[in-house]
Structure 1
Amino acid sequence: MTSPESAGHAYDVVISGASLAGSAAAILLARRGVRVALLERRSDPAAYKVLCTHSITANAYPVLDELGLVPALEKAGAVRNEARWYTRWGWIEPRAAPGGPELPHAYNVRRSVLDPMIRARAAETPGVDLLLGHQVTGLLRDGGRIAGVRASTPDGEREIGARLVIGADGKDSAVAKFAGIPARKHENARFGYLAHFRDLPLAGGIGQTWFLEPDMAYAFPNDDGVTVLAVLPDKKKLPAFRQDLEGSFLSFVRALPDAPPVDSAERVSKIIGTVDYPLHSRKPAAPGVALVGDAALTGDPLWGVGCGWALQSARWLADAVAPAATGRGGPAALDKSLAAYARGHQRRLRGHQQLAADFARSRPFNPMESLVFSAAARDEAMARHMYLFASRLIGPLRFLSPSVVAKAVAINLRHRRHRREAAGPTR
């Protein structure tokens, strides 16, 4: 039955983009009583994002759990994403504290598995209409307010009315463009290439990241025995790298400290990548429109945070706007809830993005980072602290808090003292 508050709108919400952020937002909003049109420009329900780290950080595990995807991911062979990191001080190897809980995790899983899975879950959710082959070409307005979208479909142009339009359409968001929401851009001084390898053994069977200052690399094990192997060198190396892409890629990997035996593995994909991937950030909401996932904030791919933040931002939005999206309280209530979502999004992610944008300048560690990373390579508790930050379960202020810095100083002083004692008296 259509409530009086919903009269006059085909849907409460229209979402552009049916990948992670859009499908998650559709499910969570519909479960809260919102009628959702979920638009996807591609017609294939099995379509997926190709250029991705294929990793969901642990901060998003509660969202996966709420969506009911954890059993399906486990059944599909998704790999729990434990990790270790190489630094010039040695490997940082987080382990659970003796007698304590296991380290938090989410999953590494190929997008060819994940995207169709979450899209199918959205399609079967009561209150969600998945509309494939629908590409947003403009926004509808009524009395100055956004009132839906205009979309190109296999059957021609279509207008779909709604109180709220959500852009889940990636870093080049058409919804943001049509709504006049500009992007702030931070240049990335690294380029990146990745490929998928089958049967590539990794130490401990877990993810590896190499901080080479300024170059980077990582290897993440995924479902079906496939590992995503990526290199992210300084852009100064790009001209030489491009002359022989395959040879340069493999040479870079072979030169990594404790390099995985790439020559004994089977490459099962092309080497793909991007030579220019700036970090984008936009205001997450304006009257009648909201942005989630990469449409709101695109991080540096070396950190592998995009999937996790896509899922989290979908949940933050659903929690903030669901009642108002059904018409309860009128336009003023919806605008207030959108403003609350925007404040929460920026409060949670602004610090992470600022730190990532600074590191994207392709610089070595600064003194503060050197202090904490070196301590993490020498102390198990500090390694766990590093793991919580890499999992985006704590923010930069807590990661580099005064108490943590003081502890790192003590760890490094103790390490130097032990080295002097082991070296014996000097003459």
Structure 2
Amino acid sequence: MTKPESAGHDCDVVISGASLAGSAAAILLARRGARVALLERRSDPEAYKVLCTHSITANAYPVLDELGLVPALEKAGAVRNEARWYTRWGWIEPRAAPAGPELPYAYNIRRSILEPLIRSRAAQTPGVDLLLGHHVTGLVREAGRTVGVRASTPEGEREIRACLVVGADGKDSAVAKFAGVPATQYENARFGYLAHFRNLPLRGGIGQTWFLDPDMAYAFPNDDGVTVLAVLPDKKRLPAFREDLEGSFFEFVRALPEAPPIDSAERITKIIGSVNYPLHRRKPTAPGVALIGDAALTGDPLWGVGCGWALHSAQWLAEAVASAATGRGDLDRSLVAYARTHRRRLSGHQRLAADFATARPFNPVERLVFSAAARDESVARHMHLFASRLIGPLRFLNPLALAKASAVNIRHRAAAAPPTHPSHTGS
């Protein structure tokens, strides 16, 4: 049955996970007429994900706008995520063109603010039933497709039937596991630790990222004067961090070019992180099932793309399946459309990220573009569009962009070359 009717179902869509992706999908689906049960295993409506870059890339700004969250985020103190990036060739500092529009942006904001905010908006949306303390323990299946979930609730076991089950339950997705959707993993040769600091000044008051080849670090200013500071070293450094986490963390930061004054700042959280964070991807659909956010794909934390992709995948799903989930179209065909969009928009980014996660040296194309971006504002703006995930790898590395980068570097070498003096011969 690919044109499910609402009769016999408790709702149109069940979503497992009321974090960013799940709450956004619930809002967008309900606004399109779907009845949504939004399940969250945690009972606390203020719960939030702790280990996060706390940054939303600019590609997700239209989703925030559609959700109506932009005024609330700015009122909550979210910081527009301008940034500069250190490379061996100098700093890449994207700036708006003199006569052009401002650079695209979204926001840095701590998940302790963002997650309860979007969950509360979902709960207030007509058509959404937020069910806290509901943990999915299995799927209801008929004729080879998923038609609902079984959940552990504060009142005991419960079955909730729906036309579509959405897994928005993170990289270790129970929905994906129960639906038999395997994950392809990619090794990450870096590990990461982060902490939150207050009164940590950053040059220009904007985000800083350090490409140290192979090590990485970033500092993102957030709401309420708090800065998230993260280090992502090559795993060759792991023994030292295991022996003395705090000492190694501080030593790593002090050694950064134009290092933020970490010793004079107030650390307000523990140093937390992960020594093993592989990238993974799953096929984002199965019969009667869709996966969004980290359940479908995780990026390398160093790029800070997880929040943006969570919101975007929620939007793509709502656009593709809302009509079919309410009995006004072919659900299987709609899921194919969602999977196609997800693959087209994210697979290229994921391939590049998985390759870079091996901690290999910069390849020749990366050296060309990064060096040119440190020397030319137009190349820096082009790189900003890619870092913000507003353009994909093919456009980022298109022949015209590479030709421009080559020309910049040729001019740079010519300007740096010592002058030649004509030889003089005696008569």
The TM tier, using the shorter chain, reads over 0.9
How is 1:264-303 mapped onto 2 (pairs within 5 angstroms)? 264-303=264-303
Equivalent residue number for residue 211 of structure 2: 211
| CA contact 1:191–1:277 (8 Å) conserved in 2 | yes
| Per-residue deviation, 1:83 | 0.6
| CA contact 1:375–1:382 (8 Å) conserved in 2 | yes
| Per-residue deviation, 1:424 | 6.2
Give the structure-2-normalised TM-score: 0.97
Equivalent residue number for residue 396 of structure 1: 393
Equivalent residue number for residue 229 of structure 1: 229
**CA spacing shift, 1:44–1:417, aligned 2, 3 Å:** same
SS at match of 1:9: coil
| 2: CA distance, partners of 1:379 / 1:201 | 26
Matched AA of 2:410: L
| 2: CA distance, partners of 1:306 / 1:95 | 24
SS at match of 1:148: strand
Is structure 2 residue 369 aligned with structure 1 residue 372? yes
How is 1:23-422 mapped onto 2 (pairs within 5 angstroms)? 23-329=23-329, 333-421=330-418
| Per-residue deviation, 1:426 | 9.7
| 2: CA distance, partners of 1:259 / 1:28 | 42
Give the structure-1-normalised TM-score: 0.97
| 1: CA distance, partners of 2:324 / 2:416 | 62
SS at match of 1:249: helix
Matched AA of 1:368: V
Matched AA of 1:400: L
| 2: CA distance, partners of 1:183 / 1:275 | 20
| 1: CA distance, partners of 2:205 / 2:187 | 34
**CA spacing shift, 1:120–1:376, aligned 2, 3 Å:** same
| Per-residue deviation, 1:5 | 3.3
**CA spacing shift, 1:262–1:424, aligned 2, 3 Å:** farther
| 2: CA distance, partners of 1:343 / 1:390 | 23
Equivalent residue number for residue 21 of structure 1: 21
| 2: CA distance, partners of 1:142 / 1:187 | 36
SS at match of 1:12: strand
In percent, how many aligned pairs have the same letter?
82
**CA spacing shift, 1:161–1:203, aligned 2, 3 Å:** same
Unaligned runs of 5+ residues in structure 2 are none
| Per-residue deviation, 1:420 | 1.1
| CA contact 2:6–2:163 (8 Å) conserved in 1 | no
| 2: CA distance, partners of 1:295 / 1:327 | 26
| Per-residue deviation, 1:168 | 0.1
| Per-residue deviation, 1:241 | 1.6
| Per-residue deviation, 1:142 | 2.1
SS at match of 1:353: helix
| CA contact 1:286–1:339 (8 Å) conserved in 2 | no
| 2: CA distance, partners of 1:290 / 1:40 | 17
SS at match of 1:23: helix
Runs of 4+ in structure 1 deviating by more than 4 angstroms, as ranges, are 423-427
SS at match of 2:417: helix
CA-based RMSD: 1.1
| Per-residue deviation, 1:409 | 0.7
Matched AA of 1:141: R
| 2: CA distance, partners of 1:42 / 1:12 | 23
| 2: CA distance, partners of 1:299 / 1:38 | 25
Unaligned runs of 5+ residues in structure 1 are none
**CA spacing shift, 1:409–1:141, aligned 2, 3 Å:** same
| Per-residue deviation, 1:144 | 2.5
| 1: CA distance, partners of 2:147 / 2:391 | 38
| 2: CA distance, partners of 1:216 / 1:65 | 31
| 2: CA distance, partners of 1:322 / 1:68 | 19
Number of matched pairs: 420
| CA contact 2:139–2:179 (8 Å) conserved in 1 | yes
| Per-residue deviation, 1:143 | 2.6
Matched AA of 2:29: L
Matched AA of 1:308: G
Matched AA of 2:394: L
Larger displacement relative to structure 2 (403-412 or 269-278): 403-412
| CA contact 2:202–2:260 (8 Å) conserved in 1 | yes
| 2: CA distance, partners of 1:56 / 1:304 | 7
| 2: CA distance, partners of 1:152 / 1:406 | 58
**CA spacing shift, 1:90–1:41, aligned 2, 3 Å:** same
